[in-house]
Chain A
């Protein structure tokens, strides 16, 4: 199929209208120079086999042939250790730039992919249906600087997730090259008193501005794994190290819904994740941005402790997630899995509400008050060095 010429910017002739949406009252927080990178583990990663409670006999009773053998685990302390496929992250752990947060979840957990990820994305309670992602809410309250190329960029997918909804200037580069091609179709002019039309014009302006200011052609010495996730992380570094600035980059890795034959699948995915993140760190250090980057993983839920009859695991609840970055206080947070105290569905209780992770990013990383954005107060974790 013929490819159009790759046009990386609209060129000098394009008139970029600065979005007039920033009022004097909404001061932009200086904290947005700190970059947040969200890594979504689509399908619900099995936390129990990721950060293994190898000293807990109950783990081996519940997991049977699915359990990671004790001698293969990469020990983090005398109770838990990483899945062996995550070797690439051990240097980060040793340098205390990797935080492991255990027991992340929420009350009255929903076990449906679609509903639970919606809850995580919108920072809602299980009975409410909100239209706006939590980051879109944050950016509506505290607007990132207008000279940013965009508030957030989604790489490798068209799902905006926490960036969805009005209030944020977001572009999705499902296919970065295609974005720049398509962006030629957006036209920047005009304004209107018709709210529907004004919304469309605003989105067009956002696209044009992002396309004009983002670039992905930075040459890097760092080597990246030759797979989907590695490629996305490379594009992320090129974007971050390039001319335009953004407050959030979202990437995702799919395939974690391991209902059957979990061992080889999870092995491969955790290896991709770890090597991709390690290369990401090296790349960010190359462009001098590692100290101003915070990476957080998230997923719709963890998985059930008891293995099922297909050598896999079913949808669960509380999960383990990671924070990495140049200013992260490495270590273990939250609570190891309480396998003796499972709920009526055989699932883990949570120890850290997922919104605490968001509150930590909002308050400590960006200096944005979190109570309005998250519609409640959640304890901040001491994940970040000043």
Chain B
């Protein structure tokens, strides 16, 4: 498929392809390339999870604790929050299947839950595992599983949803945000569906889903024209039956992988294939990635890199040496993407929302500092990351960390190292054109001084506005 197409395919489906990866992909045809990406996905992470993630412990109620114990509990949660993000960023960097992580992140932004409300890092970790397990499986299975996920039950208040006192939050969001999209259901459908989900609760002692029959409203409900003594799973089946669901999800996938404005005919065709396949996510992806729109010249460099795209992608492409990744979690949070804590139930809006005067300058400064690190290896040039204040959702400012975690964080800052010479030497082509092809999805906006090479060239290319695009 050639170098340009290979870079395009890899950067849209993964994070920051390296030159070697691009060259390998370039040898395949588009069909072969897409097939290989879809054949080698994962359902579990390669990175070992933090030790605390193996055991659920019912959290004590803050009011039952004395001041010291409360402080300790808070610090423990903050420490776990940093470790959780470190783990996921490490997985994005190290996984043999970046597409799996991209899809896990996509589903995290679709089936939103936030640590801000869920509180326990362990529950967010388990949800993340669930999303990864089904990320490239069947959408129907994913929907059923996520609806029972404890973090989701907490986030969308299903814990308070009981017979006689239905809480509509989950029913509303499952229709509006997870399946049909606005305009394809009415308020009455939500009210009725909410009754079907009553009793879908949580066992606080085990942290697992528990159906509480005495809280469940077993009466007859009418949703989207169908009547019956539906339970939650029945409602989900009804929602999956609607063509609107395939359309809604396919549209989101298009905007994730192809362009901001779907071609309606193409999209309708893909949505139909998706639905006909029984909601096989890989079928949708194959259609999208092989559609003419995906490869069209006018759809190159039209998507704005998310903070995670930018940070993880840059670390990957340049093979940057890192110790702990917690500083980068603070960085992406400061740029507007706090993993495990999207701002609200609609998720990160993305695209232009990522870029304002504050975030653009921060992005440029991150790149500027990274590519001076050659000259300032141990300097606190990366202190920019440490200055970030608390970001919510469990992430506190660095000066609020317990001493041990703070020390690890500070060490991680000094472990960041980009070996420019080694990286440049690993490239077969070091001229401006070759570097441009590797790093930018289209020609740079600003003129590159002729004769520029090495670090100077890297800086010029990464400071160009086009580097923010994929």
Contacts and interface: CB of A to CB of B under 8 A. Distances in A.
User: Per DSSP, are chain A's interface residues mostly helix, strand or loop, or mixed?
Assistant: mixed
Interface string B437-470: 0000010011000000000000000010110110
Interface residues of B, number: 38
A187 B446 contact: yes
Contact of A190 (B352, B361, B446): B446
B357 A203 contact: yes
B465 A190 contact: yes
B459 to A, nearest CB: 10
B322 to A, nearest CB: 21
A114 B116 contact: yes
Contact of A196 (B304, B346, B368): B304
Contacts of B243: none
A196 B352 contact: yes
B344 interface: yes
Given A114-B116, A114-B343, A200-B360, A194 B301 contact: yes
Contacts of B353: 131, 165
Nearest to A310: B63
A1 B380 CA distance: 7
A179 interface: yes
B469 A115 contact: no
A194 B360 contact: no
A170 B355 CA distance: 12
B344 A170 contact: no
B133 interface: no
Interface stretch (A204-212, A284-292, A321-329): A204-212
Contacts of B468: 200
A252 to B, nearest CB: 12
Contact of B446 (A174, A189, A195, A206): A189
Contacts of A197: 301, 445, 465-466, 469
Interface string A106-149: 00000000110010000000000101000000000000000000
B296 interface: no
A340 interface: no
Given A1-B380, A196-B304, A186 B361 contact: yes
A28 interface: no
Given A1-B380, A190-B465, A201 B356 contact: no
A207 B352 contact: no
Nearest to B352: A199
Interface of A: 1-2, 114-115, 118, 129, 131, 154, 158, 160, 164-166, 170-172, 174, 179, 182-183, 185-187, 189-190, 192, 194-197, 199-201, 203-204, 206-207, 210
9 contacts: A114-B343, A158-B334, A172-B358, A190-B445, A192-B445, A197-B445, A197-B465, A197-B466, A200-B469
